[in-house]
Amino acid sequence: MARGSTRPTSRDVAHAAGVSQAAVSLVLGDKWRGRVSEATAERVRRAAHDLGYRPNLAARNLRLGHTRTVLLVVPALTTEFFAGVYTGAARVAARHEFGVVLYPSPEGVGPARDPFHSARAAVDGVIASSMAADALTAIRGDQLPLVMLDSDPQGSHGATTVNLDIADGVRQVTDHLLALGHRHYLHLGADIPSWTFETRAHELATRLAQVPGTTLRTARAPISIDGARGAAETALAAPGPRPTALVCDDDKLAAGAYKAARRLGLRIPDDLSVTGIDDLALATALDPELTTVRLDAELFGERGMGALLTVLDGQDPHKDDIPVELVVRGSTAPPPPHP
């Protein structure tokens, strides 16, 4: 089949052969015996030949045998959350005699150098956070069996997705604050264009829109304590009714909000309730301790690795989101009578 100047991918081979990408990986990696039929293997080989498909370095190395190694692509390790994801993924991998190569995107998000060339390593598949999704093209991770974490199930280009139920977490936070009597809100959002943060903003706005008399402001900040402090201080000092509840996209942003409140002479939770998401160790180091949504990072990693192993076996993983839990601590209380 003529492809012009566009290099065919394993997805093209899978489409032409009428099989999954996992099956293509198994056949072209010579790992198909006992997993797919001889007829299917021959159909994949013929489709690859007709398309002129040439596997990348990782896929060529797979012909020599199963590497039993996967690549975990995450943002720069600035919080313990992704360390927990790695721990969970490595735990499941070890049970199946797989290794995990951790590859943080150097700039946190965006393109990254190709680890297959720099490390001269081949892997069987990739697990990637949506926050580091732009790195996938550069490292050709989208040409291998792929599981995306915290990603839009409708917009992941056919990749398997594993998600925390972050929308429910935001609903739990909002319902908690509404039950306390808060009506004026500030959303301190991460300034990263990512599905998970877009979901948080959408769910908060949708839930508050259902309650008459509520107001919502939004301020964006980098995921850093100083960046969050500056953004929160500016937003809280803006004209108009002062928010009595500050909903933060993660615990580090909440820590910055604490500093902003103190600079403005506001007491937490007497004058301002603050919530986070993650339940990092930081949440209980703050005073008062932070009300936040607990995300089980290790379970997240376990599910991601389990899904990839299922894909490598040529099967479809379960699609259920991972439940999350609101942990109520001292940073939330009813609003003051006259904010």
Handedness of CA 257, 262, 264, 268 (dihedral sign): positive
Residue that has been written with the tokens 């990693």 in this structure:
301
- Residues spanned by the domain of 214: 166-295
Quote the pLDDT of residue 172: 98
CA 239 to chain centre: 35
CATH number of the domain within which 260 lies = 3.40.50.2300
- Flag whether 339 is in a domain: no
Cα distance between residue 44 and residue 50, in whole Å = 10
Total number of domains in the chain: 3
Q: Is residue 338 one of the residues assigned to a domain?
A: no
227 found inside a domain: yes
Q: 282 and 170 share a domain?
A: yes
Residues present in the chain in total:
339
Do 153 and 73 lie in a common domain? yes
Alpha helices in the chain (DSSP H): 10-17, 21-28, 38-51, 57-62, 80-95, 115-118, 135-139, 166-180, 195-209, 225-236, 251-263, 282-285, 297-312
d(Cα 73, Cα 71) in Å, to the nearest integer?
Answer: 6
31: CATH: 1.10.260
> Is the same domain home to 188 and 42?
no
CA distances to 175, 180, 191, 240, 292 from 211, in Å: 10, 14, 27, 20, 22
- In whole angstroms, what is the distance from residue 305 CA to residue 87 CA? 11
Phi, psi of 204, rounded to the nearest 5 degrees: -65, -50
Asked whether residue 157 falls in the same domain as residue 304, the answer is: yes
Average pLDDT per run of 10 along the chain, which is 339 residues long? 59 88 80 83 88 60 62 78 93 89 65 46 78 62 79 77 96 98 97 91 97 96 94 94 95 97 96 96 96 96 94 84 97 89
pTM: 0.76
The answer on 188 and 174 residing in a single domain is yes
Let me know whether 116 and 192 are in one domain: no
**What Cα–Cα distance (Å) separates residue 335 from each residue in 90, 178, 180, 182, 199?**
44, 10, 7, 6, 26
Domain match, 69 and 35 both: no
Q: Is 71 inside any structural domain? A: yes
**DSSP of 246-286, one letter per residue?**
EEESSHHHHHHHHHHHHHTT--TTTT-EEEEEE--THHHHS
Q: Tell me what pLDDT residue 139 has.
A: 57
- Cα–Cα nearest to 172, from 144, 200, 147, 139: 200
pLDDT value, residue 5: 44
**69-74 vs 215-221, strand pairing mode:** unpaired
State the helix-helix crossing angle for 21-28 and 297-312, rounded to 10 degrees. 60
pLDDT on residue 332: 98
Same domain, 241 and 263: yes
